[in-house]
Structure 1
Amino acid sequence: MSSIMTNSAAMTALQTLKATNKQLDVTQGRISTGYRVAEASDNAAYWSIATTMRSDNKALSTVQDSLGLGAATVDVAYTAMDSAKDYIDEIKTKLVAATAPGVDKSKIQSEITELQSQLTSLASSASFSGSNWLSVDSSASGYSATQSIVGSFTRNADNSVTLGKIDIGLGNISLFDASATGAGLLDQGVALAADGNVQDVAQDAGDGAGTEAVVAVFADASAGVTLSGNNEISFDLIRNGVTTSVTINKATVDTALSSTDGVISNAANMALVLDQALTDAGIDTTNDVTVAANGNAVEITHATDALTDTLQIANAGSSSNGNDFSLATIDISSASAAEIETFIEGVNNMLESVTSAASSLGAVKSRIDMQSDFVSNLMDAVDRGVSQLVDADMEEESTRLQALQVQQQLGIQALSIANGNSQSILSLFR
């Protein structure tokens, strides 16, 4: 049946042409933008993932900048530390020369004075962007004993984010500390302000009836203590007549508390540190003895209760950073041979500390370089991942464009033919 009111063929041809034009618009949009998913309406899930990952990549770019700044700061400190090592070595050489008979100590002192001035000048000028790690003042407002470099940005499974940091403890690398209570590697040692009340304890024995021998190494550790540089707390633990020397230093604290600042804040932390120190000394803190805080005290308890099971603490004490003098104030003009020998030994210890600090800085610098390379590669990987989700395949879109253009032309032709069918109805009335 032919109808002048409804042209079904034209309607079908029109709908087909509209669908083709719509697909053509999508393809042309992909070609012009380069994206298969340019808006949330294109694919909400992919768009959301891509947007989040692009944001994370911007954060990674900032992390890379932070690593660059950190690398520069470490490089400045390391360069100065390496030079300081040479000057200290030169001072040691001058001191050795001063032990020769008949030498003019005042003239050697004048050379040492110049080297001392160079050392202090070097430390104070080892600054990058206002940050100086070699010449510090631990009593200054806002001072932080730990400097952190942002090293990573991680998005967790629960969509929270975590910043990873590379920490550098200034107590291990600073050459000079202007604070009266602090000590750099080349400063005179400062006695510990607190040592947790480490104490000698008379021998205690088990009673064979369930009560073990107990000794309180620290009578009151509530005030805490900070160990920096070469600070040490030491004592002898005499267990069943066998003496074991135990030492607590900054490394012990940082290992026990997973920290970098050497701070023991309370008795509970002191118990953890003491447990670590005993373990380091070769004592089994499970089967030989146990360690626990008892109020503000920190106690060692024998693992068994026999009458022959005894414990005793002896030779308890604490030390400063080990330096009996400051390298910047050595004066041998009128020093005796014994005093010069003391200076030589002390300077040699300082040289070892500075060499160790330079080694640590070198390791940090190497880690920063590796992390920077990793972050760069990670950013590239994220870009490739986002590309797989949202970028348009230009070869595919080009082929689709040509096919749709042909379909468009055929649709126009089909619509034209369908509209022409109505004209043939007129011939019925001639």
Structure 2
Amino acid sequence: MTSIITNVAAMTALQTLQQTNKAMEETQNKISTGYRVSEAKDNAAYWSIATGMRSDNSAMSAVYDSLGIGEATVDAAYTGLASAKDVLDEIKAKLTAGSADGVDKAKVQDEISALQQQLQTIAESSSFSGQNWLSTGSSSSLTKEIVSSLSRDSSGSLTVGSISVDITNIRLFSDDGAGTNTGILNKTIDLTQYTNTSGVAATVETTAVSFSNTDDLVTFSVKQGGAAAKTVEITDQTLLDAGLTDTTIRSNADLAAVLKQALKDADVTGIDVTIDGSDNVVFSSTDTFSLGDAAATGTTGITAGSLGLNTTAATTSTATAGAISLMDIDISLGSITAADVNNYIRVVDKALSEVTTAASTLGAIQNRVDMQKGFVSKLMDTIDKGVGTLVDADMTEESTRLKALQTQQQLGVQALSIANTSSQAIMQLFQN
């Protein structure tokens, strides 16, 4: 039926053209924004997930920045420790030179004082963004936190993780506000020396002792602190390992070398051996220890006493040499003896050991922070990729769709034009 009131063909063509125009508008919006889900109305679920993940990724970027700041702070502290170690090596060298006879100790002390001041400068300068881990006051927290992670659990709760660094044993200088210094360089170091003197004079200076037979053996035991006792053995091979030209001990120097080698072979560390002016063997250590009974066996008939070893265990005695901090070392004082200088060298050695340990600790933290930075960077990229999969438009697909819709639009316009001409055909029916 043909009607001049209702043009069904035109209405259908118009609806089709409107749908095509709407689809074109949506496609053009996707192409211009790059998103197939740019608003909640496009896909509420995907939009919600993407919005939350974008927010978390922004926070993750702040975590990455925090790791960068933490890394720089650790680097500053590590650089300070490395420089302090070099200065301590210099101080040790100066003390060694100052222990020699005829050296002007006052001039050597001037150099040491300058190095001590340099240590203070290094500690005070090793800071980043207001944080100094090497020089702390009484109000400083000894636990430092480096923000390192951000995570969200299944319930949606957000958790911020951090790397904790305890700087208690890293600080070079510290002041608890009560007059007690606990930094590596300004704390008081105990110089207590534990010695054990055999009480039996060695006779090797007057009568050489030869380990002529392979079965010649001298033994004694050493017990350090709470550890189990270790058996120390002296054989003909011990003498050769100690650097003697043959298997005969002819001097106190030979005897000291042999005893040191025997302790080394028994894996006993931290005990030194000297021979005093009365030919007594003196064992010394900074830690408590005791010696067991000495015994000798073998064809040659060597006696333990000839080596200055007691067949009845001597008790451990304690000799306190005092206590001092590295910053208080002064060899220019008139009362300073060679023994005092040696004690100062012990103080520097202990400080060097602690600085080295602190640097190792920071090195491990540097490695962890660096690894975490790499992980956070990759995680941010992964989240971006995941969000993109949810909401990004496929530009190849959308451009193809746009081309098709443009063609449909042109055809729709032509169809509407044809439908609108049908009324003109009806008018021709009424013409003569």
Aligned residue in 2 for 1:416:
417
User: Secondary structure of 2:324's partner?
Assistant: coil
Query: Aligned pair 1:164/2:161, yes or no?
Result: yes
After superposition, where does 1:270-419 map in structure 2 within 5 Å?
324-333=323-332, 334-419=335-420
Shift of 1:330: 0.8
- Whether the 8 Å contact between 2:325 and 2:347 is mirrored in structure 1 is no
Shift of 1:147: 1.1
- Whether the 8 Å contact between 2:189 and 2:347 is mirrored in structure 1 is no
Deviations 1:8-55 (A, max 9, x none): 222211111111111011011111111111111111111111111111
Aligned residue in 1 for 2:278:
none
Change (3 A) 1:190 1:163: farther
Query: What is the distance in 1 between the residues matched to 2:188 and 2:9?
Result: 101
Aligned AA (1:145): L
Aligned residue in 1 for 2:150:
153
TM-score (ref. length: structure 2)? 0.66
User: Secondary structure of 1:324's partner?
Assistant: strand
Between the aligned residues of both structures, percent identity stands at 58
Deviations 1:322-368 (A, max 9, x none): x9321111112232222222222222111100001111112212222
After superposition, where does 1:21-170 map in structure 2 within 5 Å?
21-137=21-137, 139-140=138-139, 143-170=140-167
- Whether the 8 Å contact between 1:120 and 1:328 is mirrored in structure 2 is no
User: Secondary structure of 2:340's partner?
Assistant: helix
TM-score (ref. length: structure 1)? 0.66
Aligned AA (1:326): S
Aligned residue in 2 for 1:187:
186
Aligned AA (1:178): D
Query: What is the distance in 2 between the residues matched to 1:324 and 1:6?
Result: 112
Shift of 1:182: 4.4
Deviations 1:182-231 (A, max 9, x none): 4011122499xxxxxxxxxxxxxxxxxxxxxxxxxxxxxxxxxxxxxxxx
Aligned residue in 2 for 1:200:
none
Shift of 1:102: 3.3
Report the RMSD for the aligned CA atoms in angstroms.
2.2
Query: What is the distance in 1 between the residues matched to 2:356 and 2:59?
Result: 36
How many residues are matched? 301
Identify unmatched segments of 5+ residues in structure 1.
Answer: 192-234, 244-322
Aligned AA (1:44): A
- Whether the 8 Å contact between 2:146 and 2:163 is mirrored in structure 1 is yes
After superposition, where does 1:208-227 map in structure 2 within 5 Å?
none
Deviations 1:403-422 (A, max 9, x none): 11111111111122222223
Aligned AA (1:183): T
- Whether the 8 Å contact between 1:78 and 1:362 is mirrored in structure 2 is yes
Aligned AA (1:184): G
Deviations 1:277-332 (A, max 9, x none): xxxxxxxxxxxxxxxxxxxxxxxxxxxxxxxxxxxxxxxxxxxxxx9321111112
Higher alpha-carbon Rg: 2
Change (3 A) 1:398 1:41: same
Query: Aligned pair 1:174/2:171, yes or no?
Result: yes
Query: What is the distance in 1 between the residues matched to 2:121 and 2:73?
Result: 17
